[in-house]
Structure 1
Amino acid sequence: MTPADLSLTVLHAVRRAVDDGVLRVEVPPRVKVERARPGGAGEYASNIALTLARPAGRSGLEVAGIIEERLRDVPGLAGVEITGPGFLNFTLRGDVGRGLVRAIVGAGSAYGHGTALAGNRVRFAEVSEARAGVVVETVVGLLRSQGADAAYGGGDERMYVRPGAYAVDELGVDAARWSLLRAAPQDRPLEGAPLLVQHERNGLFRVRYAYSRVRRLLVNGEQLGVTPAYENEYAYENEYAYEMTVDTPLHTSPHPRDLLSALADYPLVLLAAARLRAPDRVARHLEVVADGLLGFQHTVLPLGDEKPSAAHRSRLAVAEAAGTVLAGGLSVLGISAPDRI
């Protein structure tokens, strides 16, 4: 993990805290990390918690604790320590990409599933409205993926879901479900017609196309004698900036570090989606993963007279991991992942 990766990781943690409603502040445009001073804790440090404390109406220590909670078990971080009035101190761990990719491919469609909600029993009341039925059914699946004992029917828990038609005959199952689940339950469903158009503005198309690209890359790699094997950390000659901004577009970078960050975030997204009864979070994150994959796909396999190398094997392994997450996320939403589009 580079300083830039660390900066972006901390920024993501702040954004998650804001999205979860724990921190009521505007997400800052950037997070600065610096080398720890002699005698300090860890390798890098940030004062972001102190910066956010006043607008959040909390102490620096409270804000630091909230951010630290969302940095636990992040690949690449060996430890996070809070010192003084709320400084965050980080110790990095090398070779994170290899462990993350292996974990994803090894878990397959179960990657991101866990036991955080074990012991919770949730029973939803039956509903007659079409969209509510699709949303509640999906939320039940999300809760079960995190270890909860959840069921649709036989209970009294209700969700507010803005009504919408489940237009399977008009759109097909995949587009019909995406139109209902991509928007937050309380928001109006997406219009159906644009979801049938193969265009980059169509999130459903981008996600499914990205998965199909992974399948094609694996086939082409086999033909070229390139098999997935994460073997290096993508060392580039240029130095990394120490600040990443909140509006840094994921899809513009040919380097897989942003894609790896999105893959590492996926378990946290599933958990938040289950806790908040918000399947739209999964759909939105799949778009992030798809954009990351599509942004660096052209560097995965050898071009022209280029000979296969360890870098190509590593890139293909990252692509395979991305495909695994895309397929798993689509499955959670009840949407198919086609090998070809």
Structure 2
Amino acid sequence: MTPADLSQAIQAAVSSAVEAGELAVAVPEHVTVERPKNRDHGDYATNVALQLAKAAGKPPRAVAEVLAERLRGITGVSEVDIAGPGFLNITLDTATAGALARTIVEAGEAYGRNEALKGLRINLEFVSANPTGPIHIGGVRWAAVGDSLARVLRASGADVTTEYYLNDAGVQITKFAASLQAAANGREVPEGGYVGEYIVDIAKTLTDAIPGVLDLSEAEQLEVFRTEGLKLMVAEIKRSMDEFGTHFDVWFSERTLHDSGAVEKAIDRLREQGHVFEQDGAVFLRTTDFGDDKDRVLIKADGDKTYFAADAAYYLSKRDRGAEVALYMLGADHHGYVNRLKAIAACAGDDLNRNIEVKIGQFVKMLRDGEEVRMSKRAGNIITIDDVVEWIGVDAARYTLARSSTDSTITLDINILTSQTNENRVFYVQYAHARMSSLQRKAVDMGITRSADFKPELLSTEWETDLLGQLGEFPRVIAAAGELREPHRVARYLEDLAGAYHRFWDNCPVLPKGDDEVTDLTHARLWLVEATRTVLANGLTLLGVSTPERM
């Protein structure tokens, strides 16, 4: 019996009590069932009686008594106690608790998936670094967190479109082209331009690929370096994302917003909503009505449209393409964008509490031998995604960056993340998976396979019941991670699960030794091991981390 099964059983008990006239309440759409910290309080606990008491016009303990009587008659429930003001503590019989292992193994990759966000259409934009250089370490964090969040959201039933916004219009692209042009001609990079080996590399690639480009006029050269240099840089970004295991459904070009007239149309739509005004020859959006610190310029007095105008058009584009939620994941230097983006949504007539979400990620540092690493060989003044992958690998980077809340600064210690110790948390979790895979291979070598005659009641020790309890929590953890937009919950859960497995391993022999016989307990524990391996694999996959069978 999973926690979801038990939740439904409690709902049915409430419904039955209502039909019998014992309770006059509305049957709750969902009943929360949690694993109590103190195992003396049973396998699961619920506060449903406290929630229903006011509507029922009864003390919580009286409501709990009504429900407890019905729950005691459910197959698989061995005991129901009432604690405190009206909590229901529920204990399952060992056969019912142990049967979860078979449920998980038979569900396979589907175990943990749920419908908490069923049908919700989310546009998830992350990374979106300017295409003027390699992805830096801040973008690497969002590559790990954003991709993991997309997987978690989909596992909870959401319809997710992942998107990378290419800022391929504006002054920064002109500076990028001018930097390439200067490097190709052997000149100093102009003030405010881009530096690093990658600029020299791209410039050489273009001059080799386009003979005679340096014979063109300065203006013609600049346009070639703008167009072709941008293509090469975007291709490089896509390559690094692919190698990092991060996938985007849409690569959205800012330039298309201008070329298609979408920016002008967006301004007209916001004007129709009554939030656009003119002052001193410029056109403004009155964002201060919705929490912004100042009204934002859409069109400057000289007629040029601002980046903010493109931001407005981009938000409306997401909504027009069917997104119920536009979820932005922005870097640590973008705190000022939160209110202005939400103000755009409000000015467009949308619900600030539903249609737009903005997440800000904090800074990332890297250490080697206790010293902070600051420089990249290729980019000069930043650490790039390729540096991170070279130093610690994709798995360590993705797992470590995704395992912490995004509102906290994180440090990647190269020495720790390349070590095979428990301090290296991705190694700790992956090693547990490899250990289970090794055990399965050894069982095959001994001619032992899981018997179809599974006796779950044999999984009765404290280490087995603890492990089963952890396994039962997996769907709830995924649902919470999706609803709260916190994929780090999955990583922390996997570490707890790995710990429970290591304790089980230390105390519960699985395979017979010497001349010992294969017993029903051997088979039962093999089911439990495979169930645990399945959940670890499913969780690591949600984080985009591999599941090694040997380490």
- Picking from 106, 126, 143, the partner of 1:133 is 143
CA distance in 1 between counterparts of 2:83 and 2:397 reads 50
* Structure 1 residue aligned with 2:112: 112
Establish whether residue 234 from structure 1 lines up as the match of residue 434 from structure 2: no
CA distance in 1 between counterparts of 2:107 and 2:546 reads 19
* Structure 2 residue aligned with 1:160: 360
* Structure 2 residue aligned with 1:340: 550
Letter in 1 for 2:142: A
C-alpha distance 113-78 of structure 1, shift in aligned 2 (>3 A):
farther
More relative contact order, 1 or 2 (CA 8 Å, 6+ apart) = 1
Establish whether residue 261 from structure 1 lines up as the match of residue 469 from structure 2: yes
Letter in 2 for 1:210: A
Asked if structure 2 preserves the Cα contact closer than 8 Å seen for 1:124 and 1:158, the reply is no
Asked if structure 2 preserves the Cα contact closer than 8 Å seen for 1:184 and 1:278, the reply is yes
Deviations 1:157-215 (A, max 9, x none): 32121133651121110011112011111122242321211112222111111111111
Please, which moves more after superposition, 165-174 or 322-331?
Answer: 165-174
Matching of residues 14-93 of structure 1 within 5 Å? 30=38, 32-33=40-41, 77=77, 86-88=86-88, 90=90, 92-93=92-93
TM-score by length of 2: 0.44
C-alpha distance 275-301 of structure 1, shift in aligned 2 (>3 A):
same
Asked if structure 2 preserves the Cα contact closer than 8 Å seen for 1:144 and 1:150, the reply is yes
Please, which moves more after superposition, 260-269 or 295-304?
Answer: 295-304
Deviations 1:104-127 (A, max 9, x none): 111212210122211322222343
* Structure 2 residue aligned with 1:310: 520
- Picking from 203, 211, 216, the partner of 2:433 is 211
Please, which moves more after superposition, 144-153 or 320-329?
Answer: 144-153
Establish whether residue 296 from structure 1 lines up as the match of residue 517 from structure 2: no
Shift of 1:28: 9.3
Deviations 1:211-258 (A, max 9, x none): 11111111111122322243242376xxx9xxxxxxxxxxxx6x3111
CA distance in 2 between counterparts of 1:226 and 1:308 reads 8
Q: Which runs of 4+ in 1 moved over 4 A?
A: 44-47, 75-85
Establish whether residue 271 from structure 1 lines up as the match of residue 281 from structure 2: no
Secondary structure of 2:412's partner?
A: coil
C-alpha distance 284-85 of structure 1, shift in aligned 2 (>3 A):
closer
C-alpha distance 138-84 of structure 1, shift in aligned 2 (>3 A):
closer
Please, which moves more after superposition, 172-181 or 118-127?
Answer: 118-127
Asked if structure 1 preserves the Cα contact closer than 8 Å seen for 2:94 and 2:456, the reply is no
Shift of 1:83: 9.9
Asked if structure 2 preserves the Cα contact closer than 8 Å seen for 1:181 and 1:280, the reply is yes
- Picking from 220, 233, 242, the partner of 2:442 is 220
Asked if structure 1 preserves the Cα contact closer than 8 Å seen for 2:94 and 2:459, the reply is no
C-alpha distance 329-33 of structure 1, shift in aligned 2 (>3 A):
closer
Greater C-alpha radius of gyration? 2
Asked if structure 2 preserves the Cα contact closer than 8 Å seen for 1:262 and 1:289, the reply is yes
Asked if structure 2 preserves the Cα contact closer than 8 Å seen for 1:203 and 1:287, the reply is yes
C-alpha distance 303-84 of structure 1, shift in aligned 2 (>3 A):
closer
* Structure 1 residue aligned with 2:156: 146
Letter in 2 for 1:301: L
Secondary structure of 2:102's partner?
A: helix
* Structure 2 residue aligned with 1:55: none
Asked if structure 1 preserves the Cα contact closer than 8 Å seen for 2:360 and 2:407, the reply is yes
C-alpha distance 329-91 of structure 1, shift in aligned 2 (>3 A):
closer
Secondary structure of 1:267's partner?
A: helix
* Structure 1 residue aligned with 2:423: 201
C-alpha distance 45-330 of structure 1, shift in aligned 2 (>3 A):
closer
Shift of 1:272: 0.7
Secondary structure of 1:158's partner?
A: strand
* Structure 1 residue aligned with 2:534: 324
Deviations 1:259-314 (A, max 9, x none): 11111111111111111111111111111111122222251111233211110111
Establish whether residue 178 from structure 1 lines up as the match of residue 399 from structure 2: yes
- Across the aligned residues of Structure 1 and Structure 2, the Cα RMSD in angstroms comes to 3.8
Asked if structure 1 preserves the Cα contact closer than 8 Å seen for 2:126 and 2:142, the reply is no
CA distance in 2 between counterparts of 1:313 and 1:195 reads 36
Shift of 1:133: 3.1
Secondary structure of 1:95's partner?
A: helix
CA distance in 1 between counterparts of 2:120 and 2:443 reads 44
Letter in 2 for 1:96: T
CA distance in 2 between counterparts of 1:123 and 1:79 reads 46
C-alpha distance 232-186 of structure 1, shift in aligned 2 (>3 A):
same
CA distance in 2 between counterparts of 1:334 and 1:260 reads 25
Asked if structure 2 preserves the Cα contact closer than 8 Å seen for 1:184 and 1:280, the reply is yes
Asked if structure 2 preserves the Cα contact closer than 8 Å seen for 1:122 and 1:149, the reply is yes
TM-score by length of 1: 0.69
CA distance in 1 between counterparts of 2:153 and 2:46 reads 34
CA distance in 2 between counterparts of 1:266 and 1:331 reads 13
Asked if structure 2 preserves the Cα contact closer than 8 Å seen for 1:162 and 1:187, the reply is yes
Secondary structure of 1:159's partner?
A: strand
Gaps of 5+ in 2: 2-34, 51-58, 69-74, 130-137, 164-317, 319-325, 328-356, 365-382
